[in-house]
């Protein structure tokens, strides 16, 4: 059965053709040049792999709208978009103006609704080349949008209303930059939870959603780490989980009381913890590579572990099996209970974005914008199709009602790029996403 993909892509028109324009020209679509953005729908059919070769999508391009172009700037952000109703929220940093902002777009049309500047100046000039100054993903409680930024040597959490007006801003802690900052806020009942592990004054904190007032704080080890606070219902209760700093720890989300903590993980972790209901799965990549299943009942038991390097892309759990894409471009499947490797297969390229599960299929996009669609089954690796979108992807795609939203991390030479991709098969199969 073929999978139909529909891509809604916003690209600027420039003297050098963008990837969308190159595709359009190849198919006989002639884009208008000059100072305009083209919003295009790119539809194609992805046949299953057969006959020993991969079938590429046969594409059709149709212009569905345009609007005035913005002057290209060196904007960059590695946080994922979030979708709330008809709004898409995204963080970005403009290196020309030295501003950190939240952007809001209309989900259906891609029109920018507003942009709110959160910080100006105080830009860090060091860190890992793969990091950005807008690497956190926003969170929303239905009324407020929360975002974390590293600004002027400290971590701040800011709340905006859904019209872009700032409601409050709280300094969480000072921050000693090592490779970057990418921890995202998490909403839990009346709280927004934030973490800022670093070599100086690492903390895990809970703020009031309505006011930004600090409700509780837990000191963390003085070590660099990039994991976000994750709340999972596991082993019969809600647990706030943190990995990294050579620890795996669980806290009561409302009070910050420590449920349990064990030595494990590694120092620097990035991934978001997932669960099968009994175990939590941790992974990290520096100074050692590791993948482990930890019993979440407080016993401290590690069910299994290996030295697989799943450093940046997060894992997925589906029907008793754990799926992952290694940074080095290899997809793999393990049995949750035992850690038995079911299969491994090379996709190609380097991966930073996390794979996303939709129904019984997994979408995985490498840093070069190549998306691989394969089946979430332990029986064997089965590639369904591939597609190319843009030329650089660092952020995880976001699915919403059979569509997923993507943003190019680097907006320096091409103005704004925003992509909405819909899969017809996703209407029938709604799965968990990461």
CB contact at 8 A, 434 and 355 = yes
Say which CATH architecture domain 70-226 belongs to: Beta Barrel (2.40)
C-beta of residue 144 within 8 angstroms of C-beta of residue 102:
no
Question: Which pLDDT value is given to residue 409?
Answer: 54
* Fold agreement between 70-226 and 228-299: no
For the chain, domain boundaries: 70-226, 228-299
Q: Which CATH architecture has domain 228-299?
A: Beta Barrel (2.40)
pLDDT for 44 equals 33
Q: What is the pLDDT of residue 400?
A: 74
Closest Cα to residue 261, out of 280, 283, 275? 280
DSSP state string for 15-50:
SSPPHHHHHHHHTT--PPPSSEEEEEEEEEEEPPPB
Q: How far apart are CA 63 and CA 24, in angstroms?
A: 10
Predicted confidence at residue 40, as pLDDT, reads: 30
Q: What is the pLDDT of residue 419?
A: 52
What is the pLDDT, as a whole number, of residue 401? 64
pLDDT tens, the chain, 434 aa long: 444 433 333 333 333 333 333 333 332 323 333 332 232 333 333 333 233 233 333 323 333 333 443 445 678 999 999 999 999 999 999 999 999 999 999 998 899 999 999 999 999 988 998 899 999 999 999 999 999 999 999 999 999 999 999 999 999 999 999 999 999 999 999 999 999 999 999 999 999 999 999 999 999 999 999 999 999 999 999 999 999 999 999 999 999 999 999 998 899 999 999 999 999 999 999 999 999 999 999 999 999 999 999 999 999 999 999 999 999 999 999 999 999 999 999 999 999 999 999 999 999 999 999 999 999 999 999 999 999 988 899 999 888 765 556 665 543 323 334 555 444 333 333 333 33
Identify the burial level of 20 via C-beta atoms within 10 angstroms of its C-beta, where 0-12 means exposed, 13-18 middle and 19 or more buried.
Answer: buried
d(CA 165, CA 149) in angstroms, rounded, equals 17
Helix (H) or strand (E) holding 384: strand 383-388
pTM over cut 0.85? no
Q: What is the dihedral of CA 152, 156, 159, 162, to 10 degrees?
A: 50
pLDDT of residue 52: 29
| C-alpha 270: how far from chain center | 11
CA separation for the pair 58, 56 (Å, rounded): 6
Joined together, the tokens standing for residue 377 give: 């089954």
């Amino acid at each position: 059965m073929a999978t139909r993909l529909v891509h809604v892509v916003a690209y600027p028109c420039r003297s050098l053709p963008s990837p969308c324009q190159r595709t359009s020209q190849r198919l006989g679509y002639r884009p208008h040049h000059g100072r305009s953005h083209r919003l295009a729908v790119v539809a194609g059919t992805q046949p299953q792999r057969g006959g020993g070769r991969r079938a590429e999508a046969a594409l059709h391009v149709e212009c569905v709208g345009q609007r005035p172009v913005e002057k290209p700037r060196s904007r960059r952000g590695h946080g994922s978009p979030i979708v709330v109703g008809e709004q898409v929220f995204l963080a970005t940093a403009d290196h020309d103006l030295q501003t950190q902002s939240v952007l809001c777009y209309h989900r259906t049309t891609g029109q920018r609704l507003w942009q709110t500047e959160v910080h100006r100046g105080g830009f860090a000039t060091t860190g890992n080349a793969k990091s950005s100054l807008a690497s956190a993903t926003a969170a929303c409680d239905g009324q407020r949008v929360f975002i974390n930024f590293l600004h002027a040597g400290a971590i701040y959490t800011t709340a905006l209303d859904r019209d872009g007006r700032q409601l409050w801003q709280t300094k969480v802690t000072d921050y000693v930059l090592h490779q970057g900052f990418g921890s995202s806020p998490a909403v839990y009942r009346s709280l927004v939870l934030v973490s800022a592990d670093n070599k100086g004054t690492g903390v895990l904190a809970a703020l009031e959603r309505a006011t930004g007032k600090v409700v509780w704080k837990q000191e963390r080890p003085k070590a660099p780490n990039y994991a976000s606070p994750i709340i999972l219902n596991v082993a019969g209760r809600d647990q706030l989980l943190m990995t990294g700093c050579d620890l795996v720890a669980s806290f009561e989300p409302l009070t910050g009381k420590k449920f349990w903590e064990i030595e494990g993980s590694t120092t620097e972790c990035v991934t978001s913890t997932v669960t099968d209901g009994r175990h939590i799965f941790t992974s990290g990549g520096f100074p050692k590579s590791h993948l482990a299943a930890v019993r979440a009942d407080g016993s401290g038991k590690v069910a299994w572990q290996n030295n697989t390097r799943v450093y940046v892309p997060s894992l997925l759990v589906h029907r008793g099996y754990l799926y992952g894409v290694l940074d080095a471009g290899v997809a793999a499947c393990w049995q949750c209970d035992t850690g038995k490797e079911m299969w491994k297969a090379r996709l190609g390229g380097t991966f930073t974005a996390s794979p996303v599960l939709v129904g019984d299929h997994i979408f995985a996009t490498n840093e070069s914008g190549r998306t691989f669609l394969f089946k979430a089954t332990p029986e064997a690796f089965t590639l369904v199709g591939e597609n190319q979108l843009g030329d650089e992807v660092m952020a995880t795609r976001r699915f919403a009602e059979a569509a997923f939203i993507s943003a190019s991390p680097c907006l320096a030479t091409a103005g704004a790029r925003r992509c909405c991709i819909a899969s017809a098969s996703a209407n029938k199969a709604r799965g968990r996403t990461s």
